[in-house]
Amino acid sequence: MPAKIIDGKAFAATVRAQVAEHVTKLKDAHGITPGLAVVLVGEDPASQVYVRSKGKQTVEVGMKSVEHKLDAETSEADLLKVIDDLNNDPEIHGILVQLPLPKHLDEDLVINSIAPEKDVDGFHISNVGLLGTGQKSMVPCTPLGCLMMLRDHHGSLSGLDAVVIGRSNIVGKPMAQLLLGDSCTVTIAHSRTKDLADVVRRADIVVAAVGRPEMVPGDWIKPGATVIDVGINRLDAPEKGDGKTKLVGDVHYESCAAVAGAITPVPGGVGPMTIACLLANTVTACCRANG
Ligand code: GUN
């Protein structure tokens, strides 16, 4: 049987509709409009695309959107001042500093200067610690989106073997914590893992988040497993004509889809869920700030 395609685009639209409904209630019942501030330092083209998309979707669900675009040479002190002002702005409930930052800026220092309760990325060390100890926290958006799709597909994840490929702070590590929180048996694999194919073959759930195009072939996948592909890689596509490119994930889609029970496509899988979860986190932060 061909794999079920997990439609992240449709799922994200449902999440956004729920967020919009919640925003309307907050406005009508309490006169509160959730506000999200995005800070972009420099001109990284991919980051500019993400930030534009975040701003557009924030407005579409009825929230206030603020963008701070700072030039690539911005000093750490100036960036920290922008964040401090947002921390103290009662109309801002969520703050996101787009990563990566230019090299002269200390990413950890900058992230940890965001008020933890406004850290809608869930990257602040307090939120990392809260998540790791199973306490209420802000949860990183991409892993949260993956978890929502997995719960929707499986119902309970309890007792399932999950392999997360990739150990980044943004995806791999928080993904593993979330799966553990749902009582999976979790393995985090990475570039030094021995016999990665064997490790992946044991998994009922595979989350690929390494940033290496089509790295996971179908013959690593246990028949019927669920494959969540976090990768977004741009490859040349000479078959589409001169200079054309295509997006591919970290798994080889055709061969994995032939074996898996369910799989997320790229594009249209995990990607759209990330921003939807960011909007949901902003509403959560707003509700917590207002009791
Ligand atoms: N850059 C790539 N992904 C992310 C993300 O989820 N949050 C932030 N702040 N920057 C990113």
**141 within ligand 1 shell (Cβ under 6 A):** yes
- Per-residue pLDDT for 43 more than 90? yes
- Looking at the DSSP bridge assignments, the partners of residue 41 are 70
Q: Cis check for the bond before 174: say yes or no (omega within 30 of 0).
A: no
Closest-CA residue, ligand 1 atom 1, reads 99
What is the DSSP secondary-structure string of 195-226? THHHHHHT-SEEEE-S--TT-B-GGGSPTT-E
User: 55 labelled as ligand-binding?
Assistant: no
Q: How far apart are CA 69 and CA 42, in angstroms?
A: 8
> Which residue ranges form the domains of the chain, and what is each CATH number?
31-115 (3.40.50.10860), 141-271 (3.40.50.720)
Residue labelled with tokens 């790791």 = 132
pLDDT tens-digit readout, 89-144: 999 999 999 999 999 999 999 999 999 999 999 999 999 999 999 999 999 999 99
**Strands, E assignment, the chain:** 4-5, 35-41, 64-70, 94-97, 161-165, 185-189, 205-208, 226-229, 233-236, 245-248, 262-263
Question: Which pLDDT value is given to residue 291?
Answer: 82
**97 within ligand 1 shell (Cβ under 6 A):** yes
Question: Which pLDDT value is given to residue 2?
Answer: 86
Mean pLDDT (whole number) for 16-21: 98
What global pTM score does this model have?
Answer: 0.97
Question: Which pLDDT value is given to residue 241?
Answer: 87
ipTM above threshold 0.95: yes
Closest-CA residue, ligand 1 atom 9, reads 98
Q: Which atom of ligand 1 is nearest to the CA of 47?
A: 1
**250 within ligand 1 shell (Cβ under 6 A):** no
Instruction: Give the number of other CB atoms < 10 A from CB of residue 213.
Output: 17
- Per-residue pLDDT for 65 more than 90? yes
Cα of 99 vs centre of ligand 1, distance in Å, is: 5
Question: Which pLDDT value is given to residue 219?
Answer: 98
Q: How far apart are CA 72 and CA 105, in angstroms?
A: 10
Cα of 106 vs centre of ligand 1, distance in Å, is: 15
**259 within ligand 1 shell (Cβ under 6 A):** no
Residue count of the chain: 291
Closest-CA residue, ligand 1 atom 8, reads 98
Q: Which atom of ligand 1 is nearest to the CA of 170?
A: 6
User: 291 labelled as ligand-binding?
Assistant: no
Ligand 1 pocket, mutate which of 96, 139, 146 (most atoms under 8 A from CB): 96
User: 166 labelled as ligand-binding?
Assistant: yes
- Per-residue pLDDT for 51 more than 90? yes
- Residues with a catalytic annotation lie at 54, 98, 121
Report the percentage of the chain scoring pLDDT > 70.
100
User: 167 labelled as ligand-binding?
Assistant: yes
